[in-house]
Amino acid sequence: MSQPDSQPRNPGLAERLADTRRFSETLCAPLSVEDMGLQACPEVSPPRWHLAHTTWFFETFILKPRCPDYPPFDERFEYLFNSYYNGIGAQYPRPRRHLLSRPDTATVYRWRAQVDEALQELLARDDDPALLALVALGIEHERQHQELLLTDIKHSFSYNPLWPVYQARNDEDARAPDFAWLNYEGGLVEIGARPGDGFHFDNETPRHRQWLEPFALASRPGTCAEYLAFIEDGGYRRPELWLSDGWDWVRQAGAEAPLYWFLDGGAPEYYTLAGRRPIQLHEPVAHLNYYEADAFARWCGKRLPTEAEWEHAAARLPVAGGFVDNHRFHPSVARAGAPDTPAQMFGDVWEWTASAYLPYPGFAPEEGAVGEYNGKFMSNQMVLRGGSCASSRDHLRASYRNFFYPHLRWQFSGVRLAQSMEAPRGPSPTAIA
């Protein structure tokens, strides 16, 4: 890129692209070559695969269709690193990604370099808005995979009784602020991304009206101490606290605590990216699945917020909190926020909502294979909001919709309580005629 005229036409975007691509590699720096191939279960992918797949995304959706002279690095990678885009073609089976020792790590890095160079050249000469939109999409796509890379390697490491340390970390000497309720009047509100507001995914659109009854939100997420009290009160042994599918999960999984927790009599411990350590009780509890978050809320006599309630409450807040940008790779203890403002709405832990992941009224996915990005997953999953300690701050916003199956818990996923105010209930729900 020595040409004198190769100033990118969209300098901000080109730089953001370069930064994002570089950050993926920064995240892999603490990993050995051996670590780069780990895949503990079908839901997680090896770090090397994440590096390759994000590269595949740019090569497949941008370079191949837009650069006739671009020589694909290896035609066979189109199949190997396709995640789930049927519009592109068949996919190498997801549970076997750990078997791809070839291409090796060094080759993947070379591929990344070739694609990065070609992208920068392209951006220097082309400012087609559709191109820029795709590059922006590729950046956010890579940020999502950065988060997965961290949660995936944490999961894979957790099966190794040597308790690998991804990065050492000091404990915090902090207390969570006292719990309080924040009230919201509801009414006819709008949620969803606004055209012109900046990047957003198709699943955040169209912005639309929704009626909310009055509700209250917890001033902060539930903490490890609070969740421990739930456990000690028999939380995992009382079916009346669980959804039916949740109770089935408890029994089949033999669940007794959040993922990564060890409760064997002594001081409670958990596996973290800093190794196995004593649980810091003031931290927001993480690695809950939907069933656990819901059961905890029931035990409290409360419920989870809907995604509309959450977004309504978050809409005017700054996107501030514990993100991957702080390089802690672990949730932080909440700081007291401004008065009447919920703390930790963004960052630290994703917050399970009571909302199923479904299309907004009038939703239409993008055209072409890129349209498979979000829309086809709109069944059987629940929405999470707010981002976590593994998310990039720039990646998040109030309208952002994350989604996972209700039994999964390898994300940094926690719980924020909600309750309905003046619930408009009739007398007996099964009143006789």
Q: Which is nearer to its own copies, 65 or 361 (CB)?
A: 361
Considering only residues 95 to 114 of the shown chain, the ones binding its own copies according to CB under 8 A are: 96, 98-105
Nearest to 380 by CA among 247, 245, 255, 285: 245
- H or E element, residue 187: strand 187-191
Query: Residue from 25, 171, 245, 256 that binds its own copies (CB under 8 A)?
Result: 245
Q: Which is nearer to its own copies, 61 or 220 (CB)?
A: 61
Task: Lay out the site mask for its own copies across 184-203 (x = CB under 8 A, - = otherwise).
Answer: ----x----xxxx-xxxxx-
Check binding of 408 to its own copies (CB under 8 A): no
In angstroms, the CA 97 to CA 108 distance is 14
Query: Residue from 207, 276, 277, 393 that binds its own copies (CB under 8 A)?
Result: 207
Considering only residues 311 to 350 of the shown chain, the ones binding its own copies according to CB under 8 A are: none
- Positive or negative: CA dihedral 382, 388, 391, 396: positive
Considering only residues 155 to 174 of the shown chain, the ones binding its own copies according to CB under 8 A are: 156, 159-162, 164
- State the minimum distance, in angstroms, from the CB of residue 283 to its own copies: 26
**The pair of three-digit structure tokens given for residue 270, joined into one six-digit string:** 């958990």
Cis ω on the peptide bond leading into residue 206 (within 30° of 0)? yes
* Cβ atoms < 10 Å from Cβ of 82: 20
Burial class of residue 107 in the structure, from the number of CB atoms within 10 Å of its CB (0-12 exposed, 13-18 middle, 19+ buried): middle
**Adjacency order of strands within the sheet including 413-414:** 402-404, 382-385, 350-356, 413-414
In angstroms, the CA 66 to CA 252 distance is 50
Query: Residue from 24, 28, 37, 400 that binds its own copies (CB under 8 A)?
Result: 37
# binding residues, its own copies (CB under 8 A): 101
Query: Residue from 42, 65, 71, 361 that binds its own copies (CB under 8 A)?
Result: 361
**The pair of three-digit structure tokens given for residue 364, joined into one six-digit string:** 């239409």
Crossing angle of helices 105-125 and 11-28, rounded to 10°: 170
Q: Which is nearer to its own copies, 205 or 219 (CB)?
A: 205
- State the minimum distance, in angstroms, from the CB of residue 292 to its own copies: 12
Check binding of 94 to its own copies (CB under 8 A): no
In angstroms, the CA 128 to CA 401 distance is 28
311 three-class SS: helix
Considering only residues 222 to 241 of the shown chain, the ones binding its own copies according to CB under 8 A are: 239-240
Q: For residues 345 and 316, is the Cβ–Cβ distance under 8 A?
A: no
Scanning 170-178, 265-273, 338-346, 377-385 for contacts with its own copies by CB under 8 A, the matching segment is 377-385
Query: Residue from 33, 174, 315, 320 that binds its own copies (CB under 8 A)?
Result: 33
Check binding of 402 to its own copies (CB under 8 A): no
- Amino acid in position 30: P
Query: Residue from 42, 65, 87, 234 that binds its own copies (CB under 8 A)?
Result: 87
Query: Residue from 123, 137, 288, 396 that binds its own copies (CB under 8 A)?
Result: 137
Check binding of 356 to its own copies (CB under 8 A): yes
Query: Residue from 17, 27, 40, 314 that binds its own copies (CB under 8 A)?
Result: 40
Considering only residues 64 to 83 of the shown chain, the ones binding its own copies according to CB under 8 A are: 76, 79-80
Check binding of 29 to its own copies (CB under 8 A): no
- State the minimum distance, in angstroms, from the CB of residue 424 to its own copies: 5
282 three-class SS: coil
Scanning 54-62, 91-99, 174-182, 341-349 for contacts with its own copies by CB under 8 A, the matching segment is 91-99
In angstroms, the CA 35 to CA 160 distance is 11
Helices (H), 158-223: none
Q: Which is nearer to its own copies, 121 or 213 (CB)?
A: 213
- State the minimum distance, in angstroms, from the CB of residue 217 to its own copies: 14
Using CA atoms, how far residue 193 sits from 213, 315, 403, in Å, is: 22, 10, 17
Check binding of 262 to its own copies (CB under 8 A): no
Q: For residues 355 and 324, is the Cβ–Cβ distance under 8 A?
A: no
